[in-house]
Chains A and B, each alone.
Chain A
């Protein structure tokens, strides 16, 4: 189920809020768990069994790690087994066919593909499951005796399908004890509406443009159209993903949970290094704490440091998808990060500020090209069009159409990519206007935005059938 669906907003959410708040404290987690499992099984009931397997496995490994923590070797062995178990599940469901394809290509074989259907959200719940066992091992969170609590941590519906990846240490206490007051509930609604608006009002329109442009053969792209397409995708992926994270954080707050922010205006970065501190923060910190630092992190020799960065970004690419373009995308950022670390970092800092932003944005946008393209050859062809090297026209009617017809969405995307509201809020903090904005206008705007989202969602269900005679 998607947060931006009518079923979620008008059936699932009111039902879970109602039952959660009328339930006695002891039953609240149970209510959340039942609804989370329903939320997950809604679209793909069969996948529920895979998630339940992951939950059971991590629950047992958590208990075993806790039981044998006095023996470092035994605890470490259990931890290793849990990692192997989790990685086997994700490996099978996400990477089997990719592996077979490459194996066939490498050895000229024709081993048939298994066409494994990947359960939705497997990358997120697997990483959360691993986080649970690792944090118990590191004594950064208590092992849960009650399996329902582990199930709730892994399957909690707000962050189940698209993150943020909530570390066990972040919510270990909250699972057993949390509270909601008016402030928290209202801020949850605020965050949810902002996230929904990002998704429905901006990301969906940008996605429509990107999908149409990326469906063209690259030979038919004008230079302008290829830029419009990749910029639209740049906006889509940010507003889609950060919108979803905001909705998750907001929903979490409505039920008393506090998750960390997952995005912090990444497109205002002045370097790629800064970008990755602002983009998908929960994934980056997961890899930093569970892979990069255990490998030696920054405190290793230069060659090991390079190796560590390459490994982390190879894994980051693979985590995003089982295809070579994701690997190239990961390694592309690894190279840029290494360049900034060892070669151009200081030079960049001396550049005129707008040039720093331009540099970062350009390479971020190019990065999304690798990410969005269906294949490496398509990405290369697309890049050729962007650079005007394919002999295509500079401007096309189609490009003008997207620019003229979606000008407000593009403007909204640009404005919402920048921290204008927080800056305004800070500047007007104690003034009458600031208070008026914060106490009245903000809430009015939120209600209007929610109404607009519903309007857009309903219009998307408009489905005329011209030739049918009823």
Chain B
């Protein structure tokens, strides 16, 4: 009887350690991980140096980790077990919050603490002031548009023991806008706008971006402010009655849900809007013509994500309505700009959108000198207010010459 158990143990153990590597070798390797949003490791190339410094085998280790047979299934099982059996509220750095919100786990040693330290927020405010002054010298205007992140707007939805970074989120906003006030930098704080109508849900529960309502409110506030305070030529913002709003039938794959392999059930959908009064335009992504504002799937069952808006992040997007009567706009920022772009361009002659994380042809200042926009907007979420990299780096540290 004992022997039977031992034989089963030996067979199972040896089967697992022998068969998994064989299947790994036989399967076709994937180049990217959809769930992790990254390239998977490639098999390392042998060099004498890499062998001697230990890098060669280290890279094989990474390669095996990335390509081992059944990796996604194992990880899904891990998440299911931790979520349903162990009742964990934190999985792969995603917190399962109250009311079905998936929020980022922000620990004390999290990068956002170093990003949003007071020194960085001061530097950011100073460089915004410098940019505003420079534009003013050339007759242009600048506005900083601060958007609360999903995590900070819904910080109360963290389980009590995970409300670790709430103070950070309160402080960051206060510190930055106090400094902008001191320096007389023009800004729009969307947190105040959102808080005025708390009955509206501005954020996805399973994605880190705002939803259509959040994007629409941001668009509306920007155009309203620009018209009132900067340029009368700009048409008033489109009311919802002026738009055809469509709810896409596809299942929604939010970025936070992706991090837990879409194991959290959700009924969320993406909404898009077309102006009833269509204005002709030309659009270019990284210099190539591409007239799509929304990237839709013909298969209604296919999972879609926030990338529906403008097809995700592009280094440079240009939309021209060719109406000289209207001013030219330059917007730069992270992916929060994507969802407002399909509405924003209607109000300008030329709308240029830069994502400085990817744009490397010239610095922001050089770009402004070259294209001379009348209005410049910087859009940033509050977890990145103090981030001096990417869209926080105006003078371009990594410009390709």
Contact = CB atoms under 8 A, between A and B. Distances in A.
Contact of B61 (A6, A44, A408): A6
Interface in B22-81: 24, 32, 35-39, 51-52, 54, 57-58, 60-61, 64-66, 68, 71, 74-75, 77-79, 81
A182 B163 contact: no
A269 B223 CA distance: 72
A280 to B, nearest CB: 28
B12 to A, nearest CB: 5
A45 B162 contact: no
Given A6-B64, A455-B74, A458-B74, A439 B52 contact: no
Contacts of A404: 89, 159, 161
A14 B21 contact: yes
B302 interface: no
A13 interface: yes
B248 interface: no
Contacts of B2: 438-439
Nearest to A185: B10
Contacts of A464: 35-38, 92-93, 258-259
Contact of A45 (B39, B51, B79, B86): B51
Nearest to B104: A466
Given A5-B61, A439-B1, A439-B4, A459 B78 contact: yes
A169 to B, nearest CB: 30
B38 A461 contact: no
Contact of B37 (A10, A405, A466): A466
Contacts of B20: 10
Interface residues of B, number: 68
Contact of B6 (A443, A458, A463, A465): A443
Contacts of A397: 160-164
Contacts of A459: 74-75, 78-79, 92
Contacts of A447: 8-9, 12-13
Interface in B148-172: 159-164
Contacts of A220: 108
Classify the secondary structure of A's interface with B.
Answer: helix
B60 A401 contact: no
B162 A401 contact: yes
A469 B357 CA distance: 10
- Give chain A's interface residue range (CB within 8 Å of chain B): 35 or more
Interface string A432-470: 000100111011001100110011101101111111111
Interface string B281-318: 00000000000000000000000000000001100000
Contact of A458 (B39, B57, B68, B164): B68
B90 interface: yes
B9 A443 contact: yes
Contacts of B12: 447, 450
A186 interface: yes
B5 A442 contact: yes
Interface string A157-197: 00000000000000000000000001101100110010000
A263 to B, nearest CB: 23
A11 interface: yes
A14 B14 CA distance: 8
A235 B92 CA distance: 23
B109 interface: yes
Contacts of B77: 455
Interface string A389-406: 000000001101101110
A7 B161 contact: no
B5 to A, nearest CB: 4
A42 interface: yes
A212 B35 contact: no
A465 B37 CA distance: 6
Contacts of B159: 404
Nearest to A10: B21
B10 A11 contact: no
Nearest to A192: B13
8 contacts: A189-B9, A193-B13, A397-B164, A398-B108, A408-B86, A443-B9, A465-B37, A469-B313
Given A397-B162, A459-B75, 4 more contacts: A215-B109, A462-B75, A465-B38, A469-B313
